[in-house]
Amino acid sequence: DGGITQSPKYLFRKEGQNVTLSCEQNLNHDAMYWYRQDPGQGLRLIYYSQIVNDFQKGDIAEGYSVSREKKESFPLTVTSAQKNPTAFYLCASSLLDGSSYNEQFFGPGTRLTVL
Amino acid sequence: GNSVTQMEGPVTLSEEAFLTINCTYTATGYPSLFWYVQYPGEGLQLLLKATKADDKGSNKGFEATYRKETTSFHLEKGSVQVSDSAVYFCALKEYGGSQGNLIFGKGTKLSVKP
Render pLDDT for A3-46 as a digit per residue (tens, 0 to 9): 999 999 999 999 889 999 999 999 999 999 999 999 877 899 99
Q: How many CB atoms sit inside 10 A of residue A16's CB?
A: 8
Measured in whole angstroms, how far is the alpha carbon of residue A83 from the centre of its chain?
A: 17
Pairwise CB contact (< 8 Å): A108 & B42: yes
Q: Least CB-CB distance to B105: which of A42, A100, A109?
A: A42
Contact present, A5 and A74 (Cβ < 8 Å): no
Residue to substitute from B33, B101, B106, B108, interface A, most A β-carbons within 10 A: B101
pLDDT (tens digit, 9 = 90+) per residue, A34-59? 999 998 778 999 999 989 999 999 98
Residue of B nearest to A57 (CA): B99
Contact present, B95 and A99 (Cβ < 8 Å): yes
Pairwise CB contact (< 8 Å): A101 & B51: yes
Distance CA A98, CA B32 (A): 13
Contact present, A106 and B44 (Cβ < 8 Å): yes
- C-alpha R_g of chain B: 14
